[in-house]
Structure 1
Amino acid sequence: MSWSPDEELVILTTGQETIIMMTKDFEPITEVGIHQDDFGEGKFITVGWGKKETQFHGSEGKQAAQKKIQEVQPAVAWDDRRPRVTWRGDGQLFAVSAICPQTGAMKIRVWNREGVLQATSEPINGLEQALCWKPSGSLIASTQHHPNKHSVVFMEKNGLLHGDFTLPFSKDQAKVKELLWNSDSTVLAVWLEDMSMMNSRCACCASSAVQLWTVGNYHWYLKQSLDFGRDPQKAPVCVCWDPERPLQLHAVSRSWTSITYDWGWMTERSPGLDATDNANVAVIDGEKILVTSFRQCVVPPPMSSFELQLTSPVNQVTFLCRPQGTNQVAAFTANGQISIYSQGRLTKLAECFVLPSKMSGIYLIMAAVEVDGVVVSVVHCSQTGTVALQLEDGQIRKLVWDHPEPSVEDWRDSSGCRINFPVPCVQTALCSISGEECLLGLTDRSHLYAGDTELASNVCSFAVCNDFLLITTHSHTCRCLHLGTLTVKGLQASLASDGSQNDETLRRVERGSRIVTVVPQDTRVILQMPRGNLETVHHRALVLAQLRTWLDSLRFRDAFECMRKLRINLNLIYDHSPKVFLEKIQTFITQLNSINHINLVLTELKEEDTTSSMYPHPESSSIQQQPSSGQKKVDVVCDALRNAMESMDPNKFSLSILTAHVKKTVPELEIALQKVHELRAPGAVSAEEALKYLLFLVNVNDLYEHSLGTYDFDLVLMVAEKSQKDPKEYLPFLNMLKSLEPNYQRYTIDKHLKRYKKALLHLSKCGQSEHFGEALQLVKEQKLYSEALKLYATDSVHYKALSCAYAEHLVEQQQAEQAGLLLWRCGEPVCALQAFAGSSSWRNAICVAQQIPLPPDQLALLARDLAEKLTEQRRYADAALLLD
């Protein structure tokens, strides 16, 4: 008899080989025979693509077409010949296994909810009585007896085989009584009974066991083995999973004792915090422990770095919580033994105690402490030596084991209040939050607690490493929080927030990711995806914390390599501590010791302060301000690096020196080109190589123009040859320039480059009479009056002409008074008088008029005109003074 998952239907199998379907009120719905000649509604359809004899058979050859169908072997002798019924999780289909009357072999048939046959299994030799449909609906589990092995097989709903795994015992050693899937389809329980005593007088003393199997990456792992021994009173008569708690198993023994087992998913990782810890992770797989050292390599399961073979199935594994010894692993096996394994050579002992031979190799229990309650987990902190116990009801106890008399006391906070978990936790870890030691716990319902305070309610997994708390959440994120800078309330707030754009604590991950381990003193976090594969991520918070540590300790090369590999902006090397960087700049150059690496740092420079924008410091960190010298950051770094490299080895760092010139906010291309010109000396770095590199940094046309500005035609030709210019374009122009007088040549080049001030300077040296008209035209076009007046003597004709031109410009700019002063100074009083009169500068106008001198009548007329203008401008006092 079997009830449907929704408890609306019940299926009965009768002694007449029939199936009766009833309602929950036991009203019959239908009755059909178990054994049907038809395959069912899901019968396979052939499209008639030729006969088997004419088809291609691959490596088997033509003989495969003549192979005869093997006869199906009858069921094993110990089979009880009773039908089994199992339902799919959604209650739409059920399967029935029964012995076929014709062949004596086991057959499985699948029926729908209306009692209509859907499919019949293919003939399978050695198929046994155990039957259980995976609640998720994908597979039906059963067992198969092979000539040389015993295995659990899986079938699809159409009756075809779909995978299997081998049970860890030899032929005829044990029989499988039942298979039981848990409610979320993650664990398969195999209920076994020893067959070695079945034919003896002590058949009633046959031992029983329950094995728990899980699957990952298409590999089946034996995770737990419950051995009930040979005592018939302890043997289970009923085993079943809890329908609501997926990892809770119930068993009832012959002595009417009910036992409930509670399990939780845990990742057993080595607890070390320094570089000596190999970041080991141990996985239980029956009698083997699969150990992977993630510091050396990332090995995807079911593979591992190495395996430890034991003589009995392993039920528990853990690592030693002692500094410099965290790579040692201990295993607790089903037969009650504890085995300890360590890597490397045996430790030399200062003292040696001789034990009797019968006690050699046995670890002695030095002390026992009685605890009031059932301890479900123990966690040990290797830094502080604290040992925390969790009882089955969530209470927390502290084991005081370093005293002469070990004892257990309540866990209390800094204020003396008792702290307990609200509910039992399946994973616990000790950490320090703002200097106070705290016990973290994760429940099977994804609630994360710090003592009795709930931090978050959507946590998949968590790990504590080097003062960082890392968690993955059901919202597909990985958070990394620094425990030294946050309080418990701060942790709550951080985990409740969605994070800002540049929040280094937040990283998106794949749905269902779980933390496997964190490599100590490193930036790697190993995540496992739901399908079983591993991924290595470098969490930004761990990366930045490690970089800050390296930069504080002046390990520039380690920081640079990490930043280059993980694509961290290289400006952080300077922005983290500008003063220290400038003081230790030669150390930086010596450690990098690579022109390419220094060039990479230079080319990534920008004015942005990355410590306040891209990578803000944690709240408790002291932010070092950049020096306020008035210079721009890029110029400061470029000059500092260039000066240091020139003092160390200018030839070796020639390319980096060029980069420092070019990268400045105002690129010093002429200086860079001049340095390329200087490199042409024998024994120096190749100028061709330097120029080729410079062309990589700067646009070739810009470089050609700036090479002209050096007035070195050899350098210009060198640059032009490297460009894509046609020689017909630049050779006539260069030949024309070579034919000119040197100063006029430079004037022509500067005017071509629009460097008009330099052009005017060189033109003034060409001969003041010959080219003055051209100079005056340049001054008027580019308004270089002030610069031009500095180049000519004040008593020269050219100075007067420039002054008159400047005065005209000032009058156009509504600055007539300034124009009048300029004309007065250069000896043009009449023009100055007009300018003063136009600007109502009456004092200057009267002075100039008297200097000319004007006749009295014209002077009086001038005064009246000026007074009228002043009156119009409401400057009455000046007008009255003028007329007085």
Structure 2
Amino acid sequence: RTMRNLQLSYIKSILFSELNVENVHRTAYDSDKQIFYISTDHIIYSFDVDNDDDKSLRQAYETQEHSIEDLCYVSEINCLCIALSNGDLLSYICDDNIENIIGTMDTKIHAITLSPDQQILTIVSDTKLLLLSVMNEFEPIAEINFDTNEFGLQQFVNVGWGKQETQFHGSLGKKAALLPTSMGTKNIFSFDDCRTKISWRDDSDYFAVSFISKQEQCRMIKIYNKQGQLQATNDQVFNGCLEHSFAWKLSGESIAVPMRMNNGQKSTISFMEKNGLKHGDFELVKEDEKEYHVQHICWNKDSTILCIVLHTAESSVKDKPERNNSSKGSSVLQLWSTNNYHWYLKQCYKFESLQIQTILWDMESTNRIHFIFDNGQYRTMTWVWVTNIKSADNRTLACVIDGKKLMVTDFTHSSIPPPMCTYTIMCPSTIHSVVSSNNSNDQLLFALSNGVIALCKSSLPSSDTVSGYETIKHLPEITAHYIQSVIKIDSNMNDCTHFTLFNDQLYYIELSVLHVHNFERIVQSIQLDFLCLTTAIGQNAIYFESTNGEIFYLNEKQQIKIVSKIQFPRRCPQFSIVIQGNDEKFVGLTDNYRLYLNSNELLHNCNSYFIHDRSTIAYSTLQHQIGFISLTNSNNTHQNNVIDTKRRTGK
């Protein structure tokens, strides 16, 4: 799990002309019916996400007098909750077109948010917070004025330890002990939308409120329990540094908050515990020298991916923010993941002259995200976790992507725990994916987000090698890979998936079109009539798995054919082909740890596997065991030699 990469497996894009001149600012999602709701200033539209035959946009609700401020979908009672600019809170049953007024606030509503258990609806204005019980006909639970000087129930007790005057100040001398403590700069950034926001913890016991404090003249965060009792306020180190977006990690450990320090020169993602204290951070990576700020931040369902949306300074809200301001800036979508206390930039997508208006993760499909651009384009993207292993010339290499770095570990000579590695290949742009290959030589290929394919070999580069790339060896005695050449492909890298090198030609899919590239130009393009989930390389063909588990292959005549007798019962993001004479066997592993051989389930607790010598499946389990399955045995029964890899505790 510590050496995995995110691989883009599925893209769907729809351009809605109805939204081209409208300002999309809020969305809601009915995961049961797969219906996506889009809110403009006065109209709520809906469409079926997974219905490829119906790509129309339907009008679900319209208001003439007052603009729509926010909305959320309550699946328990099958209705939309809608907040209007005059303070009205409505419930709207879409199937029956029934509208009811829940109540009215005396000030403008900034946001409404539903707790993860769908029991509590939170409503915030400039300074007030209202909690309503969903299952008790929206009865009020608590009403709170959050812009106060109170810290909360978790107020720290000072017993005199660690006072400034008792600390050692080094070369600054004793006079430093008498200097006043810096309490942070009072500051509200020009791009701040000045709206109050809410983020719930996944167990629905706590939620956080981010708001502009009129008393402190800066953005602050306060944390409450579900009864509305104030628990904590952010530590003063956050004051004057907070940006307007934030997100509570669904696993409940901490809150991710974007911060700007050093007079706005340094952008970081910091983590706040529920007692208000800071607990770690990492610095954001910029694709270019433009000025960016964090517009959106959100966690996926299992908290393994942190999504960050950056906007350029051209799209920043200046002075007095208005929601109707047009934007000519760009958006950058970044996906981050952590292991061994190191944060990896796994994916980065730059959208020129497009601004991501709203974004949310799918709560059913773990690694699927939905977002909408300001030109009315809806887009959904799905990623799968893969392990990029290269075995050639008696060497086994593991490649890990971290932004502009490809971290390579040679397990033939050393076993180095990540984030350390044997050597690093530095690139001028972020790395999109490592290219799969059936080559037995030492060639290594990877795709960059700027549309470049980099070719590496272990031989030293010539004197006229391409600039902007560098190989840094961390172990001098190891043979490393060096960039030999680069090629530019005539495709939008944001739409490209499944890069594969087969028979010295590059294959990749761009929006359901399979391209064949001979490293000079695209020589053939084949329209696919299925949605490709993943690919695998066989002995004489490339195989494709569709999203419903069907297996296809590309024959010698460059025609797509289906393997009619084989279909996985569930989609398998990782699958392999084993050729034994004239017999083809397909091994697949699902996201929920089920291992299949053709249509038969072998295991339900497998987290990885490896095919050895086309005769044996070596696998690992969630119980930290390694086992073996013979592919030559007609019954495919488990062998008895299962090895327990748990660490000994000495008990």
Confirm or deny: 8 A CA contact 2:199 2:246 kept in the other structure: yes
**Hey, what does 2:562 align to over in structure 1?**
410
Aligned 8 A contact 1:72 1:103 in 2:
no
Between stretches 170-179 and 277-286, larger displacement belongs to: 170-179
1:21 to 107, 111, 131: 131
Q: Is the 8 A contact 1:205 1:230 kept in 2?
A: yes
Q: How big is the shift at 1:364?
A: 2.7
**1:118 corresponds to 2:266:** no
Query: Which region of structure 1 is more displaced relative to structure 2, 467-476 or 103-112?
Result: 467-476
Please give the alpha-carbon distance, in whole angstroms, between the structure 2 residues aligned to 1:357 and 1:77.
38
Q: Measure the CA separation in 2 of the matches of 1:259 and 1:30.
A: 38
User: Among 500, 508, 522, which residue is 1:365 paired with?
Assistant: 522
2:433 to 297, 316, 320: 316
Matched residue SS, 1:479: strand
Structure-2 separation of matches of 1:399 and 1:248 = 28
Question: Structure 1 residue aligned with 2:204, among 91, 95, 119?
Answer: 91
Would the alpha carbon gap of residues 296 and 214 (structure 1) be closer, same or farther in structure 2, given more than 3 Å must change?
same
- The structure-2 alpha-carbon separation of the partners of 1:138 and 1:61, relative to structure 1 and needing over 3 Å to count, comes to farther
- Could you say which residue in structure 2 is the equivalent of 1:779? none
* Matched residue type, 2:260: H
Q: Between the two proteins, what is the percent identity of the paired residues?
A: 30
Instruction: Note if contact 1:149-1:171 (Cα within 8 Å) is conserved in structure 2.
Output: no
Deviates more, 1:372-381 or 1:438-447: 372-381
What residue in structure 2 maps to residue 44 of structure 1? 156
**Paired residue for 1:734?**
none
Q: Note the 1:776-795 alignment, pairs <5 A.
A: none
Partner of 1:862: none
Correspondence for 2:449: 334
Structure 2-normalised TM-score? 0.67
Corresponding residue for 2:611?
464
Matching residue of 2:193: 80
After the TM superposition, which residues 484-883 of structure 1 pair with which residues of structure 2 at under 5 Å, given as runs?
A: 485-487=632-634, 489-490=635-636, 493-494=637-638, 503-504=640-641, 506-510=642-646
- Once superposed, which parts of structure 1, at least 4 consecutive aligned residues long, lie more than 6 Å away? 356-359
Instruction: State the AA in 2 paired with 1:436.
Output: D
Equivalent pairs, count: 470
Question: CA shift at 1:247, angstroms?
Answer: 1.2
Q: Which residue of 2 aligns with 1:352?
A: none
1:767-820 CA-to-partner distances (Å, cap 9, x unmatched) read xxxxxxxxxxxxxxxxxxxxxxxxxxxxxxxxxxxxxxxxxxxxxxxxxxxxxx
2:389 maps to a residue whose letter is R
SS in 1 for 2:566: coil
- Taking the aligned partners of 2:489 and 2:553, their CA distance within structure 1 comes to 35
Name the CA distance, whole Å, in 1 between partners of 2:358 and 2:179. 45
Q: Structure 1 CA distance, aligned partners of 2:535 and 2:163?
A: 67
SS of structure 2 residue aligned to 1:7? coil
Aligned residue number for residue 348 of structure 2 = 225
Q: Is 2:392 the partner of 1:392? A: no
1:74–1:103 contact (8 Å) kept in structure 2:
no
2:118 partner amino acid = E
Change in Cα spacing, 1:399 to 1:94, as seen in structure 2 (3 Å) is same
Question: Equivalents in 2 of 1:257, 1:422: separation in Å?
Answer: 33
Q: Matched residues in 2 for 1:92 and 1:9: separation?
A: 10
Q: CA deviation at 1:303?
A: 1.4
Query: How far 1:150 moved relative to its partner?
Result: 0.8
Verify: 1:444 aligned to 2:583, yes or no: no
Give 1:186's aligned residue. Answer: 304
**Is 1:378 the counterpart of 2:551 in the alignment?**
no
Which of 378, 384, 387 is matched with 1:258 structurally? 378
For the residues of structure 2 that align with 1:374 and 1:363, how far apart are their CA atoms? 27
Instruction: Answer whether contact 1:212 1:224 (CA < 8 A) is retained.
Output: yes
CA gap of 1:76–1:346, structure 2 versus 1, over 3 A, is closer
Aligned residue in 1 for 2:390: 270
Q: Displacement, 1:221?
A: 0.7
CA distance in 1, matches of 2:155, 2:317: 43
Aligned to 1:168: 285
- Which structure would you say has the larger RCO, counting Cα contacts within 8 Å and 6 or more residues apart? 2
Distance 1:340 1:107 in 2: 48
Following superposition, the deviation at residue 73 of structure 1 comes to 3.2
- 1:185: how far off? 1.1
One-letter identity of the residue aligned with 2:450: N
Higher helix share: 1
> Are residue 248 (structure 1) and residue 368 (structure 2) matched?
yes
- Distance in 1 (CA, whole Å) between partners of 2:618 and 2:227 is 51
Letter in 1 for 2:250: P
Query: CA RMSD of the aligned region, Å?
Result: 2.8
Normalising by structure 1, report the TM-score: 0.50
5+ residue gaps, structure 2: 1-111, 319-324, 463-486, 491-517
Given that residues 224 and 315 in structure 1 are in contact (C-alpha distance below 8 angstroms), is that contact kept between their aligned partners in structure 2?
Answer: yes
Structure with the larger strand share:
2
Structure 2 vs 1, CA of residues 163 and 357 (structure 1 numbering), >3 Å: closer, same or farther? Answer: closer
Q: The residue matched to 1:409 in structure 2 has which SS?
A: strand
What residue is the counterpart of 1:477 in the other structure? 625
What is the CA distance between 1:255 and its match in structure 2?
5.0
CA contact (8 A) 1:271 1:319 kept: no
Contact (CA 8 Å) 2:119, 2:133: kept in 1 or not?
yes
Whether 1:108 and 2:216 are equivalent positions in the alignment is: no
Q: CA–CA distance in 1 between the matches of 2:159 and 2:356?
A: 51
SS at match of 1:65: helix
